[in-house]
Structures are given as structure tokens and as C-alpha cells.
Structure 1
Amino acid sequence: MSDPVVLSGAALTPAALALIASADAPVAISDDGLARLRAGRAVVERAIAENRPVYGLTRGLGDQVGDSLPPEMLADFSRRTIRGRAMAVGAALPRAVVRGAMAVRLNGALTGRAGLSEAAAVALQAALNAGLTPVVPRIGSIGEADLCVTAALALTLIGDPDGRAEIDGAIAPADAALKRAGLAPLAPGPKDGLALISHNSIAIAEAALAFEALERAVALETVASALVLEAFRANPSPLDPACAEARPQPGQAEAARRLRDLLAGGDLATDPDAPRRLQDPLSLRCAAPSLGAALTALDAARAAIDAELNGSGDNPMVDVAGDRLVATPNFHSPGLALACDQLAAAIASLGAGALARCQILGRAEFTDLPRLLSPGGVGSAGVAPLYKVGQALMHRLTRAAQPAAALPSMAGGSLEDSMSFAPQAAEKLQESADAFRLMTALELRIAMQALQLRGVARPGAALIPWIERLTPLCPPLEADDRPLGREVEAIADALTPSGA
């Protein structure tokens, strides 16, 4: 078993979340996180003892906010809060997203601001470590806390037979699944019901997992771009630092530096006669600005996701220092939604450049290589069918780039008259990540075929290990065509494995 990921409420990263969500790494709770959890819970208990007017604790929810709740019904109100909002529909979320959401909720509770009981926090930890994963329908959240969706998650923790969970590859009612996992159902205390469902952990987890996959894929796309430059024998002058200095667009200088580093020591970077053309097609000339825009979008998404992973979206929120519970707007996540939208748009732009480079490599009049990179001559398809695959992937990238956060509210006249649509933006970002990892693999496959036909004697030193790693995955095309789809998938699985 792998080492546990220690949750403290302060330092969870997308990479660490991916270990929990996709690699089933166990979780541990830090001592300082547990101390903050207990301090937050103490504030909740004092508020109950003093009958302070607190939304969702001593007073009702929604239109019942003016109604007092008798002390003897507070715990049952938590159970009813969960059952009464488990209304999500549709196909189940991926297991990795649900595990990620459980870890996000636990980490957020360790800030002390959720007011979650220690028993509820331990129940989340125990379910994760036992491999018990609630079955959670996808459709139901509008980004104002994932209430209807996260309630399905909470149903499992309390052992409600209307909940369902997966354990050891089998799906069972929540009570039976808990028993099979050797866990007791949680008896939720006051505020536990609201704290277990009133947060955006589904959107946050899906966005973080998509971000982590895209960060790896963009790094690999830099390698793919450099391999195309080598195979094409492109003019490296657009990578000169003077270009970015003259127009300092964010990210361009860093992207150009990364490409120069990959080409360094090779003929293309050192021999002025190596480039074949004075002006190359735009997809080659503009590789650095395109990569730079994606790097900038990744930076913006990282900041938005980090704030959500280690923050509190609870309402009401516990202010331990002030010994009070505060009404907050932190369940509203337009920053996360817009960051996902921006990143998906940047990835679509990057994918368009990748596809254009793939198509250019098949044009003999541009490359001086065999048409469609095929040694088979007339009648050979070469890599041409992969262009159709690339166009299909490009359609997915373009579809995922349509903004989710721009939709208007359709809930006029109710209290919830503003929506972030963060879950929808995060879902689209995951679709973008799934398509882009395949687009990058497709570009690598075509670039390797061109590189093998070109017979580059001295590529960039940093590219040599990549070429050695890719060579067994990319056997040269022969005169007789063969299917290449599985080779593209093998590259994607080997270099940018999917976590969902």
C-alpha cells in the first residue's frame, strides 16, 4: 500500500488529490487539522447551547429560515437535510471524481470552518481508506454548493438504504456496502447534514483532476511540438528571446525557453544550414505563443483550484477566532468556473495548432518527405486517416471550450437567483483533458513517423530520451498500411495516463 496523503486543510494539491482519487492512496489527518476541526466544532456546540439564531443549525433552511428548530430535533434535522436533498439524476460520476470529492470535503473540514463533527470527518476518512465509494448521479448541481449531488454521497455515510455504494467492484445499498466494508453508519450530529452536502467538492475535485491531467499533457505537448520542429527541419528563429521581449505576452517567453531547451545541442539549434525554409507555416512559427497562452491559463486555473481545495465554501461558516457562525457567499464559485472555461478555450487553441502541424507533416510540398508520410506510394493511406481522428478530437475540444459560466439564471423569483455553473465548467474541462491527451499522442505518433523518415542525425539532447521512449511505441510505417489507432492510445496511456 502506498504512503498516506496527509490532509491538514492547508496544503492539498491537484497532484496529491489525484493520488487519493485515482491511485486509491490512503488518507491521514494531521494533528493540526484535527485541532482546527475540534475548535470549529466547539463553536457550533456553544451556538446550540446558547440557542443563537444560526441558519441551518438552530433555524431552518431556505424559506424556513425564520423557523426555530427545537434542540431535541437538531440531529434528526441533519439526517432529514441529507435525505431531503438527495435528488440528483443521471449517470454516475466517475469513481475518481467521487473519491476526490470526499477528500476535498474532508480537507475543507480540517480548516475548522465547516463545523463538522469529528465523527463525520472520521467517517469520510474511513470510507476512503476502505475503498468504499458512493454512487453519485452527475446531474443536479448549478454551482451554488453541489447540494443535490453531494447529498447522494452523504446518504452512503449514514447508511441510508436509498443510497448506493461500490465496494470491491460490486454496487450495493449503502447499509449493505458499509457492512461489507466493516464500517458503521454515521449518526450525523447537528450541522453535520449541512456540512456534508453544502459545499462544491464535486466541481472542485473534477476541476482539480482535469487540471492535473492537462498540466501533464501540456508538458508533453511541448515535447511533441519540439519533435515536429525537428522532423520538419523548421526555422527556430521564432524561439529567439528577442521575440518575446518585443511583445511580452504572458507565458510566451517561458514556452519559447522550454522549446529551446529541448532543441539545444541538436543540429537545428546549432547549424544555420539545418532549417529548410525562411518562413515556416504558422502552426510551427507560432508554437511558443500558443503554448504560452496555455501555460498562462494553467497558472490562472491553478490559483483558482488551490483556493478551493484549501478553503471553505460553507454557509454558515465557523469563525473560530470570533466564536461565531457567519453567513457567507463562498458556495458561489464563478472564479473556478471562469478559470475552467478559460483553460478549456486555451487547450482548444493549442489542439488546433497541434492538428495543423500534423497535417503539414503529411504535405510533401512542405516537408520534402513522402506524401502522407507513407513509404508505400500510390494507394497507401499513410497517416491520412489519423487526420479524421484529429478532426473528431478537435470537435470535442471546441465543444468543451464553449463557456458554461455565461449561462443566465433561470431561477428568477427565488432566493437562488444567481448561479456559477462550476460543475458544468469542470465537467467540460475533464472532456477537454480526455480529448487533448489523445490529440497530443496523435501528434507524437505522426511526428515520430516524420522523424524516422527524415533520419535526423543529431536531435536536441533533451529530446533523445523522449525519442528512445517513443520508438518502441511508434514502429515505422511500412509500404503496407496498418491500423494506428491503438498505437495512439498506447502512447497516451504510457505518457499521459487517464485518471478518471
Structure 2
Amino acid sequence: MATTAADARPLVELTADAPTVADLVAIADGARVSLGADVLATLAASRAVVEEAIAAGRPVYGLNRRLGAGRDTVVDPAEFAEFQRRTIANHRGGVGESLELRETRAVIAARLIGFTRGGSGVRPELAEAYAAMLDAGVHPVIPARGSVGAADLTHLAEVAAVVTGSGRAFDGSGGIVDGRTALEAAGLVPVELAPHEGLAVLSSNAYSIGVGALAVTEARSLAAADLAIALSLEAVAASGPAGNLSAFSSVVADARGGAGQRMSAAAIRAALAGSALEKPERAVTVQDPLAFRTAPQLHGALRESVDRAQAELDLELAARSDNPVVDTASGAMVSGGNFQALPLALSLEGLRLVLAHVGSASERRAAALSLALAPARSEGRTRVPGLLLYSAAAAVAELRQLAAPATLGITTLSGVEDHATLAPLALRLLQRSLALTGEVLAIEALHAADALRVAGATPTGDGTAPVFGALDALIAGGDASADLVPAALSVLTGR
């Protein structure tokens, strides 16, 4: 990414190189976007294939044949313009709350990135219109629900509606205006869709990919779970022989050999470097409860699950998932099913299950700390509310429910669209799981900080000492737990 003197925002240039999750997240966070010369050439070559198919009169789904069950019904060339408009209007079936602006930008960015891969057959000017909409901050109102994961049709129809001058968009002050008004206010003009573009703008899992990239980035920040367990180890060691570091040794991690476990164990050891737990003369239990000593295995599984999900997102970002896919090498438009992104959907499912395990173990550690604090609590010497543990227990109960499979669900409306991945549902449940897991980890850390203060101990670990200081200051502020928990999570994650 780069910046220019005229605009301090970062710039993401999309080129023939494979795009990354980091590129997409940067655009979602407000970076400008430009299309490289190689991308414009790819778009032109891809569009030429569509124009040649029109001229030759070859039957192509969504071009000169209708959609869904009408796949073999001819579209008269005289109806092409109206067919594009009807296609967009018919797919604006989403319901529910609107996506947040950051999520909206992620959706637009994901579809724009898809255009640049050359499988869509859209004109360069349409791709540039999407880039211009991002740069100008024109944000369509996109209802969150409607896609069943066989391309995120309802989400993308709202984007297409605005870029063509209809639909609804936010006006920058919290209000909503029609799409044409939003474009004009930004100095942009509506685009009229060319033949095939009505389908091409919809043919992508851009919600699952775009918002999924945001979720996976957030999940990676929950490697802060290693810091929470480190602080808990300092807390239990401050008042007894608990806190055996052998479970976090490289010997144990190497004996199994998992990359995630090795990383987690190393992170916990680094956070505790210089702490009292490293003193060889300290009396220590032979081994701690499982919620403590198996943290590297649990947190390692989270790290590996995040890596798997990111690998699937990287694959989807670089893919030509359109149907039909434009193949410039053969000059053909080929019907297929690359929009059926089950590997991505399953990686989102897996993340929820791992988060339930991580959250469950964290709550058990918080419960152990809460029990140890009971005498001090009865004497009025604690500062963290006792029932904060109940909030952790409630969150874990919900995490367990959210961990159930979501992708094995319904069929859709006809004998043609008869299976779907439900990736968007898996993603929405993941977003909730991330929020709940963060709360549980924060509650654990708050209990650990309170236990350390009650014991009159100050952590000396390289990672735990500064975190304890920040958490202790938060607790001393006396904020309600509704404010304290998110603030504590920010301390843990550094976000």
C-alpha cells in the first residue's frame, strides 16, 4: 500500500498478482483502491469474450438465456437492457438490519476484486465505477440476511442497484437517500449495465468473502487468549503451588509437533519470562487442572483454524468464481458451480467450534479464580463483581449452541437451485461467537488481575506485567462491567 500527498489514505492497487485478505481489510478500513494497467487489460479481454458470444448467438446462461428454472428460455437481444434492470430488481430480496459501513465496504471490495480476476466479463468502466464508489464513500444500504450461500445475490443486488442509480445509500450523516442522489452528491454518475453484467455483478460470494475476511482477522487477534492464560497462571501461583510451566515447555510442544501448539506455548512462555513462575526453588504442583495445562493445545487449534480459514479466503479472492465463468484462453463462457464455496463455509463452521472450546476452558479458569477470591469477596476486598462469572457462563452456554452445524440446511426454491452452503449463516454465527469468546477471555483476565491484587502480588513477566498494570487501572476506575469487559479485551488484544 502507498499514500499520496493529495490524499493521506492508504492506496491499494489491484493488479494481476493474487489479492490478499490484508488488501481487502485495508479497503474495508477506508483505503483507496486503483486498478492496475494489467487488470484493465484483463477486464477488456474478458469483456471481448462476452461480446463475441453475443455476436455469434451462442446460448449462454444469463446472457441470452434467462436465470434459474428459465435457463433455457431465450432472451431477445432487444430485451437485453431491460433484462439487466429486472435481474437486479428481482434479486433485491434481503431483509433485516443493515450491514455496518466497514462490512459494506468489504462486500464491494470483494466483488471488485472478483471482477479483476477476469472471469466476470464486465467492462473496465463498470469495475472502475465500483472503485470510484468505494473511494467516494458511497455506501449502499445492504440488508444482512437473504443469501443462502450460492453466491450472495441479495447483498450484491443492493450494491448494483446503487451503482446503477437506484437502490438506497447512506448520506454520511446517518440518513438514507436514493442511490442516484448519493452518486450525484459524490460527483459520480450512474452506470447502465451492458448485456451479461446484470448477472455478473451478482455472481460472487462477496459477503461471505468480504465480511469473512474481517471476521478471520478478528479471530486472529484472539491469540490474546495466550496472554489471558499467562495472567491466570501468575494469579494462581501468587497464592499457592499452582502454575506449573512444564505443560508449556518446548519439550511437550515438540513431542506432539503441532505448529499452532508450538506457537501458543512459545507465546505463553514469552509472556511469563522473568516471572516468579520461573524460579527453580518455587514449590509447585506436579500438574494443574486441564483448563490450565492444555491451553497450548486449545489455543493452537484456534491458530490453525484461523490459518485454514484465511487460506480458503485467499483462494476465493484469487479465484474466478463466476457462473458462467469467462475463459479468455479458450474464448468460451462456461457454466459451472464455483460459487458453491463449501470449503470456505466449513472453515467458518470449524472456527466456531474451536472458539467454543477456547471459551469453555477460559470460563473454567475464571471459575477457579472466582472460587479462590470467595473469602476476600465476603470481606469486601475484591473489586470485580462476583456475578461477572455468571456472564462468562452464559456466554459459554451460547457458544456451545452456536457451535452446532449451520451449513447442512435447506434447499431453495426450484429444482435447479437445489443445494446451498449457507455460508452467510455460518459467518453471522461466527461473528457472534467471536464477540462472546472475547468477553469470556476478558472476564478471565479481570479475575486474574483482581486475584493478584488481593494476594498483594505484582506480576513480573515480560508480557503479564504491563497487562496487569492496565487491567488494574481499569478495575480501579470502578466502571460497570458492561464497560469494563470490552475495555479489558482491548488491553488483551492491543486493539
Partner of 1:60: 66
1:253 aligns with 2:262: yes
- 1:206 equivalent in structure 2: 211
RMSD: 2.4
2:25 is paired with a residue whose SS is helix
- Give 1:414 deviation, angstroms: 0.9
The correspondence for 2:292, drawn from 284, 288, 308, is 284
Query: Aligned partners of 2:472, 2:124: CA distance in 1, in Å?
Result: 53
Counterpart for residue 442 of structure 1? 443
Identity across matched positions, percent: 35
Residue number among 230, 235, 238 corresponding to 2:234 in the alignment: 230
Q: Deviations over 1:382-402 (max 9, x none)?
A: 441210111222233223212
**2: CA distance, partners of 1:458 / 1:433:** 28
1:406 maps onto 2:408 in alignment:
yes
Quote the offset at 1:53 in angstroms: 1.8
**1:461 CA drift (Å):** 2.2
- Aligned counterpart in structure 1 of residue 101 of structure 2, from 95, 101, 110: 95
Evaluate the alpha carbon distance shift between residue 456 and residue 379 of structure 1 in structure 2; reply closer, same or farther with a 3 A threshold.
closer
The 1:53/1:304 distance shift into structure 2, 3 A limit, reads same
How many Å separate the matches in 2 of 1:379 and 1:449? 9
Instruction: Give the C-alpha shift of residue 172 in structure 1.
Output: 0.9
Q: What residue is the counterpart of 1:333 in the other structure?
A: 341
1:490 aligns with 2:492: no
Does the 8 A contact of 1:167 with 1:181 survive in 2?
Answer: no
For structure 1, which segment, 101-110 or 147-156, has the greater mean C-alpha deviation from structure 2 after superposition?
147-156
The answer to which of 244-253 and 301-310 deviates more is 244-253
Verify: 1:120 aligned to 2:134, yes or no.
no
1:33 paired residue number: 39
Unpaired stretches in structure 1, ≥5 consecutive residues = 365-369
Aligned to 1:418: 419
> Deviation digits for residues 409-440 of structure 1, max 9, x if unmatched?
33486111111111111111111122222222
| 1:397 to 2:403 alignment | no
Corresponding position: 1:24 with 2:30: yes
Which residue pairs with 1:81 in the alignment? 87
Deviation at 1:198, TM superposition (A): 1.7
- Measure, in 2, the Cα distance between the counterparts of 1:174 and 1:193: 17
SS at match of 1:273: coil
Hey, what does 2:48 align to over in structure 1? 42
Q: How far, CA to CA, are the matches of 1:390 and 1:122 in structure 2?
A: 47
- Provide structure 2 residue ranges, at least 5 long, that are not aligned to the other structure: 1-7, 238-242
Distance in 2 (alpha carbons) for counterparts of 1:421 and 1:473: 41
* CA positional deviation for 1:183: 1.5
- Partners of 2:227 and 2:463 within 8 A in 1: no
User: What residue is the counterpart of 1:3 in the other structure?
Assistant: 10
Distance in 1 (CA, whole Å) between partners of 2:403 and 2:467 is 30
Matched, 1:307 2:312: no
The aligned runs of 1:251-400 (5 Å cut-off) are: 251-269=260-278, 271-274=279-282, 276-364=284-372, 370-371=373-374, 374=377, 377=379, 382-400=384-402
> CA contact under 8 A between 1:361 and 1:373: conserved in structure 2?
no
Conserved 8 A contact 1:134-1:164: yes
Give the Cα separation in 1 of the matches to 2:316 and 2:100: 20
Retained in 1: the 8 A contact 2:119–2:322?
yes
2:190 aligns with one of 185, 189, 201? 185
Check 1:20–1:412 CA distance in 2 against 1; reply closer, same or farther (3 A cut): closer
Partner letter of residue 340 of structure 1? L
Match of 1:105 in 2: 111
The equivalent of 1:367 in structure 2 is none
| Paired letter, 2:484 | E
Contact 1:13 1:309 in 2 (8 A): yes
Distance 1:372 1:174 in 2: 62
1:205 and 1:306 map into 2 onto residues whose CA distance is 11
TM-score calculated relative to the size of structure 2: 0.91
CA contact (8 A) 2:411 2:417 kept: no
Say whether residues 1:176 and 2:181 are aligned partners.
Answer: yes
Instruction: Show the counterpart of 1:167.
Output: 171
CA–CA distance in 1 between the matches of 2:139 and 2:262?
44
- TM-score calculated relative to the size of structure 1: 0.90
Distance 1:204 1:460 in 2: 39
Structure 1 position 378, deviation (Å): 5.7
C-alpha deviation, 1:381, in angstroms: 7.6
Structure 2 equivalent of residue 138 of structure 1: 144
Moved more, 255-264 or 451-460: 451-460
CA, structure 1 residues 258+209, in 2 after alignment: closer, same or farther (shift >3 Å)?
same
Q: Are the counterparts in 2 of residues 8 and 107 from structure 1 also a CA contact under 8 Å? A: no
> 3-state DSSP class of the match of 2:131?
helix
Q: Cα offset for 1:249?
A: 4.7
1:292 offset after TM fit, Å? 1.2
SS at match of 1:2: strand
Alignment of 1:466-477 (within 5 A): 466-475=467-476
Kept after mapping to 1: 8 A contact 2:213/2:313? yes
Confirm or deny: 8 A CA contact 2:359 2:396 kept in the other structure: yes
Cα shift at 1:455: 4.2
Aligned partner letter, 2:124: E
